[in-house]
Structure 1
Amino acid sequence: MGEKLTVTQLAKCIDQTLLKPYVSNEELRTHCEKAVAYGFKTVAINNAPIPFCASIIKGKGVLIDAAVSFPLGQCTIETKVFETVDAIEKGADEVDYVVNLVEVKNRNWAYIQEEMSRIVEVCRDRKTTSKVIFENCYLTQEEKEKLCEISLEVLPDFIKTSTGFGTGGATVQDVALMKDWVGGKIKIKAAGGIRTAEQALAMIGAGASRIGTSRGCEIIEQYKTILQEGK
């Protein structure tokens, strides 16, 4: 990895997630306030509470990351586009959407490219960061590679390993595969099952520049200890 990240640099790699469907406003408030205190890049949330969270963190150095068609990806392209626009208009700065895995399994690559193109275009036109979630735990090697190939045509800002709601999360091997395919043209987000500083650093070492996790606070505290101990 070369020179070690500072605590601030690692914090700015983290999308601090709270995507459970049964959280209260008080939990969301605490989530946002902690994200500001730790200096995370974003809070990753479902779309309904975007205005509430925006009222807490806007102007405080933390962005809002909206989850679109989450976690299944089983909405029509038109629905995903509408949800993307609505999220941005409500205050989202970044959008993570889930690809249509049924159409991936159908090898309907024209559909996947159209879906990606339309959502990325909406984000690009509105100066919003776009992230495409592959959900690698359900994909073959060939399917992962094909999604990378399509991504190189469309050029979203990020491609992302997982929702964190599937049967598996990010792996170092998948991050390395995605990085090998897209090089420096698209950034990689690793998400799903990343609970420790060591895991986060391994993902960054493999090529990820963003980490999606609900354990950001714990990861930063662990990293502080690592730095103090000179590991």
Structure 2
Amino acid sequence: MAGTDHSDPASLAPYIQHTAISAGMTRDDLVAHCEEAVRYGFNAAMIPASWAGLAADVLRGTGVTVASALDFPTVGVMTSRGKAAEARAIAEAGAEQIDMGVQVGWLRSGMEKEFREDIAGVVAAGVPVKVMLELPLLTEDERERAVELAMDAGAAYLKNASSGSVEVANPESIAYLAARVRDGVRVKASGGIKTLEQARALLDAGASLLGTSSGVAIVTSGRDGGQARTDY
């Protein structure tokens, strides 16, 4: 975050949500990912919803948060009822935070009430929700409305995008969100964060969290040979 000393790469670990979202993830992969999050002191292990219960068991008492996602990685394809039900199921399984895709098409169609209620249904699960706004897909006016509607719905965090295929996280998008969040709402940067320099710039721009699969490489500055597993 702006004004914080990030000269030591390891000092970035508490801001990183260590991400592994893979259709082929095995039980051993999940356990290893969670143990890695503990070893490096990451903020959270971001894992597929189907593994939330096991992740909660592995991470219990470690101080590392269990985070998961819905309507992702293909964003905006679930029904609102389906999202709300899945959010409750994920939270009951042990997820402490949920990142969610939004209905960009609804917003662009002027369906603002439906867009807001879609988010509010996930927020009702009772855990902090991070809303992936997909900023590059929106006009300037749509961006402004997306930010306001997400906060009206109860978003705890605003995210620039769901992945690097939509937008590589950049200081401009993060500063844009940071300048607009209300008290108590924070910003998470996501998408193609692979280097120490990127991570520092995003935190300086106003991000409170970084979602990345390259966390090990970032906090060790490459010494451990950590490699990104995905584009997240």
TM over 0.5: yes
Give me the whole-angstrom Cα distance separating, in 1, the residues matched to 2:114 and 2:123: 14
Mapped contact 1:161–1:169 kept (Cα < 8 A): no
1:57 Cα offset (Å): 1.4
1:151 Cα offset (Å): 2.7
1:222 partner SS: coil
Partner in structure 2 of residue 2 of structure 1: 3
1:157 Cα offset (Å): 1.0
Given the two structures, how large is their TM-score scaled by the length of structure 2? 0.88
1:183 Cα offset (Å): 4.8
Give me the whole-angstrom Cα distance separating, in 2, the residues matched to 1:155 and 1:212: 20
In the alignment, does 2:52 pair up with 1:26? no
Partner in structure 2 of residue 79 of structure 1: 82
1:52 Cα offset (Å): 2.0
Percent identity (aligned): 29
Give me the whole-angstrom Cα distance separating, in 1, the residues matched to 2:141 and 2:132: 16
1:14 Cα offset (Å): 0.7
Mapped contact 1:163–1:169 kept (Cα < 8 A): no
Matches within 5 A, 1:93-108: 93-108=96-111
Give me the whole-angstrom Cα distance separating, in 1, the residues matched to 2:208 and 2:145: 21
CA RMSD, Structure 1 to Structure 2 (Å): 1.9
Partner in structure 1 of residue 171 of structure 2: 172
Give me the whole-angstrom Cα distance separating, in 2, the residues matched to 1:83 and 1:36: 27
In the alignment, does 2:158 pair up with 1:156? no
2:125 partner SS: helix
In the alignment, does 2:184 pair up with 1:190? no
Q: 1:56 to 1:133 in 2, by over 3 A?
A: same
In the alignment, does 2:45 pair up with 1:43? yes
Partner in structure 2 of residue 60 of structure 1: 62
Give me the whole-angstrom Cα distance separating, in 2, the residues matched to 1:146 and 1:208: 20
Given the two structures, how large is their TM-score scaled by the length of structure 1? 0.88
Choose 46-55 or 35-44, whichever is displaced more. 46-55
Gaps of 5+ in 2: 224-232
Mapped contact 2:17–2:42 kept (Cα < 8 A): yes
Give me the whole-angstrom Cα distance separating, in 1, the residues matched to 2:47 and 2:60: 14
1:51 partner SS: helix
Partner in structure 2 of residue 212 of structure 1: 211
Partner in structure 2 of residue 221 of structure 1: 220
Give me the whole-angstrom Cα distance separating, in 2, the residues matched to 1:22 and 1:153: 36
Give me the whole-angstrom Cα distance separating, in 1, the residues matched to 2:86 and 2:27: 22
Mapped contact 1:135–1:166 kept (Cα < 8 A): no
- More helix by proportion, 1 or 2? 1
1:58 Cα offset (Å): 1.4
1:122 partner SS: coil
Q: 1:201 to 1:66 in 2, by over 3 A?
A: same
The residue identity in structure 2 corresponding to 1:158 is: Y
1:8 Cα offset (Å): 5.9
Give me the whole-angstrom Cα distance separating, in 2, the residues matched to 1:185 and 1:54: 26
Count of matched residue positions in the alignment of Structure 1 and Structure 2: 220
In the alignment, does 2:115 pair up with 1:115? no
Mapped contact 2:130–2:155 kept (Cα < 8 A): yes
Mapped contact 2:83–2:122 kept (Cα < 8 A): yes
